[in-house]
A and B are shown apart, each in its own frame.
Chain A
């Protein structure tokens, strides 16, 4: 023993197998440095990813939230019975109401000592067809005549943007939509304190408008269009996809033909969605003569797109069920089908559900195939009134609606597009949360 110790070089740190555990060997230093570097790369990658996510979220919220509010003019208005009778007896009834309204506003301005010149045309440019609104209100509620009624009138989108500072006086070119002089009236309204912001339910529940009325555009009809599409996708792709996977995974003989099918399914999952769009156009619209822009056609196209995703995830989760369970079932004399449906499928359920919901979420956000079947650009002005009309009548879908708005020239639609993205993301988040909840619940059961 003493010989061995005296053999060690004195004064120098021991190397190789005889090294002290208290000092790091050069190789160990290298290995530790490599590990530290790798961890650093990871932290940097995550930081960059998070930064992008935060930037995205902030810009979506900042640009999109104004879409949920609108600028309104609050006026308290009293219409006497005589005025009502007089207006109703005139030829141009709405013009008469507008005139009464103009007089009322002028009176309010004078009360506050503000002096601005304006006429019925100005009001129409700023607030739309106020006369018509007033008339229909009083005709429907005749008991309100003679009583003071508070009206909340939404302003034109240009007024809103003027107040947000996005539109300045020198940008205004006199025209059909706005004249520079109209902005004096807006200023006066601000001074009079009758202008304000209100939550815009119409954006969520309303329908799309034409290109000249960004203020009134809503995403509601497109949400319904998306809903019907998802209904079609769910009802078709879940049973077809799960049945196909079960057959391929559990029953089909393993030969060259099934191998070919397997390769094709994997490839289909990677096919660009626009290819499915043109396939849908050719098969469902041009060949089968299904109506254009219909959610049914959209749903069919998206089903084609979602099927590979569902088949792949279902097969993966079937594969992950331990073979001992199959043996156990066959061992007590269950038939192949009983062993699959009683034992394997319930165990694979969380994976199947997760795959399905992820497939659906992907389909919900898909825009390109909808371009080709005419859902992009369709102005969804009406809600469907029944299940069949929901499926067969032309409609838009959320991503198609966002695309349509973003492509319109009026800048006010831009804000609507951002707002639409917020709605779409809320739906996607909800679906993902449902997927997580379902997975948890099923996992706990088994």
Chain B
């Protein structure tokens, strides 16, 4: 590829790579949205994708759990491996993949059902609970992990849509982690939230790092700096720079990264 950008790939420091993407290209019809992206995402780490609007960071995120399959015009090329298995292999059922790779969306989108049913839905369809007691336990554990249990335990039968915005987003996180995923993708999870709710969700993301590999797309560089250990900067469909968060923000290698974090572009 002519527009391939050389990326500084210092992966030697990471032993346990959870997701590795090699030469990923995404087209929407004729639009080339992702251009030859290579990335290694470590387990039990928060990796942030930053970049200006339309740079392809969300598109790339949606490739990791094959949500792009639902868009007719989208075509994905290249390899994405999770635990060394190619998720775009014809033998892979995307439905099974999505149980392993949970996702939290930009806008809180709880099901119009009770709080309990929201969290219990995933375990139910994947057969993770053998009986009601099991299910109750999963629901409680997930809500506790999502720091929603204390607020919601007395009204598990209340509709999830009746919660406040921040609570709804935490409910969505609880719903995503209830299926016991190994990777958690978050697409701008705080963009619809106020600063207090954002702080709560960020704190939560930091805790989730203990159990999952978390990939978060964010518009806010401060957020990336606060929650992530590794940061990838996307620009016009290219992965410009990918390194430890500290390094990206203090000593960026690429002039475009520097321009973006200092506010000159984007």
A pairs with B: yes
B-binding residues in A (CB < 8 A): 253-254, 322, 324-335, 338, 342-343, 347, 446
B residues adjacent to A (C-beta < 8 A): 65, 67, 70, 72, 95-99, 102-105, 107, 109-112, 121-122, 125-126, 172, 175-176, 178-179
Query: A338 contacts which chain B residues (CB < 8 A)?
Result: 125
Contact between A333 and B175, CB atoms less than 8 A apart? no
Known interface pairs A254-B72, A327-B70, A333-B95; 7 further A-B residue pairs with C-beta atoms within 8 A, sorted by A's residue number: A324-B109, A329-B111, A331-B102, A331-B103, A332-B179, A333-B96, A338-B125
Closest to A331 in B: B103
A333 and B111: CB pair below 8 A? Answer: no
B158 CB → nearest A CB, Å: 14
Residues of A near B126 (CB, < 8 A) are 333
Give which listed residue, A325, A331, A342, contacts B65 with CB less than 8 A: A331
Q: Is the interface of A mostly helix, strand, loop or mixed?
A: helix
Report the separation of the CA atoms of residues A228 and B236 in the bound assembly, to the nearest whole angstrom: 64
Could you tell me the distance between the alpha carbons of A330 and B179 in the complex, rounded to whole angstroms?
13
Question: Contacts A331-B176, A333-B99, A333-B179 given: A342-B112 contact, CB under 8 Å?
Answer: no
Chain B residue, CB-CB nearest to A328: B109
Contact A330 B125 (CB under 8 A): no
| Residue on A nearest B185 in the bound complex, by CB | A331
Which residues from A are CB-within-8-Å of B122? 332-333
Residue of B nearest to A324 (CB): B109
Enumerate the 10 nearest inter-chain pairs by beta-carbon distance, A residue then B residue, closest first.
A333-B99, A324-B109, A332-B122, A333-B98, A331-B103, A328-B109, A446-B112, A335-B95, A333-B95, A334-B125
Q: Contacts A324-B107, A324-B109; is A330 near B70 (CB within 8 Å)?
A: yes
Q: How far is the CB of B180 from chain A (nearest CB, A)?
A: 11
- The residues of B that contact A334 with a CB separation of less than 8 Å are 95, 121, 125
Q: How far, in whole Å, are A342 and B175 apart by their CA atoms in the complex? A: 15
* A residues near B179, Cβ cutoff 8 Å: 332-333
- Check if B125 sits within 8 Å of A343, measured CB to CB: no
Identity of the chain A residue whose Cβ is nearest the Cβ of B98 in the assembled complex: A333
Q: Which residues of B contact A332 (CB under 8 A)?
A: 98-99, 102, 121-122, 125, 175-176, 178-179
Which chain B residue shows the least CB distance to A253? B72
Q: Which residues of A contact B67 (CB under 8 A)?
A: 327, 330-331
Contacts A334-B95, A335-B95 given: A328-B110 contact, CB under 8 Å? yes
Is B111 in contact with A328, judged by CB distance below 8 angstroms? yes
What would be 22 A-B contacts, judged by CB atoms less than 8 Å apart?
A: A253-B72, A322-B109, A327-B105, A327-B109, A328-B109, A328-B110, A328-B111, A329-B121, A330-B98, A331-B67, A331-B98, A331-B104, A331-B176, A332-B121, A332-B176, A333-B125, A333-B126, A333-B179, A334-B95, A335-B95, A335-B125, A446-B112
Q: How far is the CA of A342 from the CA of B72 in the complex (A)?
A: 23
Please, how many angstroms separate the alpha-carbon atoms of A299 and B70 in the complex? 39
Chain A residues with Cβ below 8 Å from B103 are 331
Greatest chain A CB density within 10 A among B72, B107, B121 is at B121
| Closest residue of B by beta carbon distance from A336 | B95
CB nearest neighbor in B for A346: B112
Bound together, the chains give a CA A72 to CA B178 distance in angstroms of 76
